[in-house]
Each structure stands twice: as C-alpha cells, then as structure tokens.
Amino acid sequence: MTDLGHDKPLGVILAGGQSRRMGGGDKALLALGGRPVIGHVIARLAPQVAGLAINANGDAARFDDFGLPVIADSIEGFAGPLAGVLAGLDWAATQGASHIVTAAADTPFFPTDLVARLQAAARAAGVPIALAASPDAQRGMNRHPTFGLWPVALRDDLRAALQDGLRKVVLWTDRHGTALAEFSSDPADPFFNINRPEDLAQAKTMLAGETQ
C-alpha cells in the first residue's frame, strides 16, 4: 500500500449527476462569486492533489475552460457516484497512480485539508478507503460518500459490483473496510452542497461571509 501519510493522490471532481432538483443543466457551472461553482471546487482541491480530472457525462466541451481531462462513466444509465469513482480509478490507473480522492462538483466549501485528513484516517485504521464525515443533528455522524480516498487496486472489484447492480456507496465501502475522517460543522457544514435554487442563494451568502 502507498504511504498514505505522504504521497499525493490524484483528484477527481464528480460532476456526473443529473441536477434534477436544480431543474436540469449543470449545477457545477452555475455562477457563484464571479466564477462557476466548480471553479471553487478546483481551487480547493488542486493544491491537495498531484493532478485533477472531471468526471462528467455528455458533451465534455462544456468544461473546456478549465483545461482538465474530462472522463465519462463507463457504466451506463447514470449509476450514481460509484460510477464516477470507477471512472476516476480507471483514469488514475493510466497515470500510474495508486489512489484518488473524489470531491463533489456542487460543494464549494469543503475543507482545504480534506486529502491529508482522509489519508491520515485510512492510515490510522489500516483500511484502504476513507470517507469524510460531519455531525448531523438528526443522524449523528453523517458520511459524505462523494468525498473519499479510493485505492486503484479495488477498481475491478468495484466494476464487478456495479455490473451486478450495486448503487449504494456505503454497501460497497463497508465490504472493504472504511475509515471516517471527521470534520466540524461549526460554524457551518463544510460539505454543504448546492441542490436547489435556494441553496445557491445560501452559498452566495456563505461566500460573502468568507470573503469579509
């Protein structure tokens, strides 16, 4: 296993969702503080990783302005976040990388130490996968399965699981041993994501608070 405490993984931004609650289109390309939402995600993740790609389906040209590789799901039918993880793992294998870290394209405020803390959690627990988590008043510790550390060595296992119809992230991660990297939600949940028009309005307020 790669030394998870020191090596930088590759980063994959998951932008493969269908944005139904936003009315269709790309949430990632909505304007927030003078640039697209995904621009904020790139700015946070790029310093933490050895290289970046975007996982997205459809016309890749809509992401041309970001100058990053765009990789599509290989599993048909919008199979969910795990299909994006698999696409990222397959891409990372071509780059000779041992791990990727994923981040959601609609979550512009995630921690700037995400990667280091995912690596530390996996290393401390001696397991191959780590997911981010933050407190939730109703559910206790809430796992964020689109923010994870994933080993390339498990890509064929994941491919087989998806081909068998598995879609729920934690059902697969729990098979292999998963650590949680716990982040504070004070003063706000860093994994706040933009699903609806009112979320975009809230994100603008949050961004204004960050820049004051």
| pLDDT, tens only, 117-161 | 999 999 999 999 999 999 886 777 899 999 999 999 999 999 999
Answer yes or no: are the C-beta atoms of 179 and 124 closer than 8 Å.
yes
pTM: 0.92
Q: What stretches of the chain adopt beta strand conformation (E)? A: 10-14, 31-32, 35-36, 52-55, 70-71, 99-104, 129-136, 140-151, 178-182
Report the percentage of the chain scoring pLDDT > 70: 92
* Residue 200, pLDDT score: 94
Using CB atoms within 10 A of its CB, is residue 202 exposed (0-12), middle (13-18) or buried (19+)?
middle
CA distances from 209 to 30, 77, 109, 111 (A): 19, 39, 12, 16
Confidence of residue 23 (pLDDT cuts 50, 70, 90): very low
- Domains delineated in the chain: 10-211 (3.90.550.10)
pLDDT per residue as tens digits for the range 165-191: 998 998 999 999 999 999 999 888 999
- The pLDDT score that the predictor gives to residue 1 is 39
pLDDT mean across residues, the chain: 90
Least confident of 24-33, 53-62, 118-127: 24-33
| pLDDT for position 2 | 42
